[in-house]
């Protein structure tokens, strides 16, 4: 499996999870959020560089979690978030992506003001990976 495919799937899956996490009683607030993902994949000959992605999270997404999730018809990454739980400044969830390569995982984010840190553990084609996640609100949305 190409590392670029893994990186794209993880980035899109994380964006879906972060949007859903933000949508349900999360301390996240609307704005432009920059996310950094550092993947650890046992057995890989080289360490992937961190992946950075920026995303505008709107109040509409915060009010309705389904609007922040990609759909199979519009996005090849058909990921569904379940088992969402918010407790104080911590959110946890499960994630399942059905479009090949199928993957499943769990995640946890701990918010501190306009920043968060956390981890996401996923298994894709029987290949486990752990991602260290960090995010920060970098301003208002410009669109």
Q: Give the Cα separation of 143 and 130 in Å (integer).
A: 33
Residue 22 has pLDDT above 50, yes or no: no
Angle at 10 between CA 65 and CA 90, to 5 degrees: 50
The residues that bridge with 118 in the sheet, in sequence order, are: 109, 133
Helix (H), strand (E) at residue 110: strand 103-112
Q: Which residue has the tokens 């990921």?
A: 79
Query: What are the residue ranges of helices labelled H in 24-131?
Result: 59-63
pLDDT the model gives residue 72:
37
Mean pLDDT for the stretch of residues 19-34 = 69
Average pLDDT, the chain: 75
- What is the domain count for the chain? 1
Do the Cβ atoms of 69 and 20 come closer than 8 Å?
yes
- Cα 14 from chain centre: 2
Q: Which two tokens mark 19?
A: 């949007």
Mean pLDDT for the stretch of residues 115-129 = 89
Instruction: Return the minimum-mean-pLDDT range out of 29-33, 105-109, 123-127.
Output: 123-127
Do the Cβ atoms of 81 and 16 come closer than 8 Å?
yes
Instruction: Return the minimum-mean-pLDDT range out of 11-20, 118-127, 134-143.
Output: 11-20
CATH number at residue 102: 2.40.128
Q: Give the Cα separation of 124 and 64 in Å (integer).
A: 28
Show the domain range for 118. Answer: 3-139
DSSP secondary structure letters along 32-62? EEEEEEEEE-TT-SSPPPPEEEEEEE-HHHH
Residue 70 has pLDDT above 80, yes or no: no
């Amino acid at each position: 499996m190409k590392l670029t495919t893994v990186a794209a799937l993880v980035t899109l899956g994380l964006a879906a999870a972060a949007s859903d996490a933000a949508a349900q009683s999360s301390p996240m607030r609307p704005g432009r959020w920059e996310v950094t993902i550092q993947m650890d994949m046992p057995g890989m000959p080289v360490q992937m560089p961190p992946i950075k992605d920026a995303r505008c999270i709107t109040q509409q997404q915060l009010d309705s979690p389904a609007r922040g999730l990609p759909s199979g018809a519009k996005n090849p990454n058909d990921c569904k978030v379940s088992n969402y739980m918010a407790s104080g400044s911590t959110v946890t969830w499960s994630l399942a992506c059905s479009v090949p390569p199928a993957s499943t995982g769990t995640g946890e984010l701990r918010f501190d003001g306009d920043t968060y840190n956390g981890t996401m553990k996923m298994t894709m084609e029987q290949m486990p990976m752990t991602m260290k996640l960090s995010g920060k609100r970098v301003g208002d949305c410009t669109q």
